[in-house]
Structure 1
């Protein structure tokens, strides 16, 4: 009788051991993939750690400026439309100005506007990522500047592609170069300004980090 109970008890223990191994096997978490990564990001946005006030303060200006650039790439601010403003203004101040001179001024104005648009965009993206504050003397990060430049360049390329589908507009690779130059110039100027402020404050100049 005792031997029978020991045998039956051994069977029960063996079954329990197999169930434990089976449960432990199925409890192993799967490797994080693309779906899990996206879900983690969504959970962060919806979690209490997400600060809507900071998002509005830093990222809403970026999106608003991108929207303005998008609108400027429509027929609303095409060369035909801007010539109706620039031409009369120049003729008001310079009645004897020639048409060729007006076209040259308009060309220079439009290209300068290109550079300015993306200079502002690069600064806004840098501001949104770094979140500088008054009296902030953190070392300069070329990584953050590179990200701001890359975002500006990518949007400049998409903007020229968009213009190819707008009547009276034409996307040009040369405009992308001008946009990139404006973004780079703004970030380099910001780097110089950061070093100057640190020197004025008597601190060690901001070192190139990363």
Structure 2
């Protein structure tokens, strides 16, 4: 591997193999997380498949729990998974975009905008993909849960950025 040309601030320009490898490293979490989402939207992780597992765990911890309560907890876990999964995907986009085009931890409105856009496109494609499965149902409501995750994690990023260092460029 060659040496990267270095800017005055010590950051590499990314014009050679080192820079390309670094960009792959920045985007790998985003790609792998998206592949994980595709796996979780398969029939193996449908509500019918996960319900029996959650029910067994709940019956072990709370033997007197009613079926209705167990079902409600199962649905809450699934919706929370949407929020956390897509919030995390948004975070991987923000980190990849921030590292690829700016110094480490540079977060600005462009980073947020493209992170939100990429995550929303993934959420819509995921729900569309589920409409082709007999065991899944793709709904716009789930995109709403995904969007809630994006907003929560965007607020977290905003607060962290304001608190740690001046990294937001308005």
- For normalisation by structure 2, the TM-score amounts to 0.83
1:85 to 47, 50, 53: 53
- For normalisation by structure 1, the TM-score amounts to 0.68
Given the alignment of the two structures, is residue 175 of structure 1 paired with residue 149 of structure 2, yes or no? no
Deviation of 1:185 after TM superposition, in Å, equals 1.2
Given the alignment of the two structures, is residue 157 of structure 1 paired with residue 130 of structure 2, yes or no? no
Cα distance between partner residues in 2 of 1:142 and 1:81: 40
Q: 1:197 to 1:114 in 2, by over 3 A?
A: same
Cα distance between partner residues in 1 of 2:73 and 2:55: 9
SS of the equivalent of 2:76 reads: helix
Q: 1:116 to 1:137 in 2, by over 3 A?
A: closer
Match of 1:69 in 2: 37
SS of the equivalent of 1:54 reads: helix
Cα distance between partner residues in 2 of 1:116 and 1:105: 16
Please give the root-mean-square deviation of Cα atoms over the aligned residues, in Å.
2.1
How many residue pairs get aligned? The number is 154
Match of 1:40 in 2: none
For structure 1, which runs of at least 5 residues remain unmatched after alignment?
A: 1-46, 199-204
1:57 to 21, 25, 28: 25
Deviation of 1:84 after TM superposition, in Å, equals 1.6
Cα distance between partner residues in 2 of 1:75 and 1:137: 37
Question: What are the superposed Cα offsets for residues 128-152 of structure 1, whole Å, 9 maximum, x if unpaired?
Answer: 11019xx9675x4112101100100
Match of 2:84 in 1: 116
Q: 1:85 to 1:137 in 2, by over 3 A?
A: closer
Cα distance between partner residues in 2 of 1:163 and 1:57: 30
Q: 1:71 to 1:207 in 2, by over 3 A?
A: closer
Match of 2:162 in 1: 195
Cα distance between partner residues in 2 of 1:48 and 1:136: 19
Given the alignment of the two structures, is residue 103 of structure 1 paired with residue 71 of structure 2, yes or no? yes
Cα distance between partner residues in 2 of 1:49 and 1:57: 12
Cα distance between partner residues in 2 of 1:90 and 1:137: 41
Q: 1:118 to 1:207 in 2, by over 3 A?
A: closer
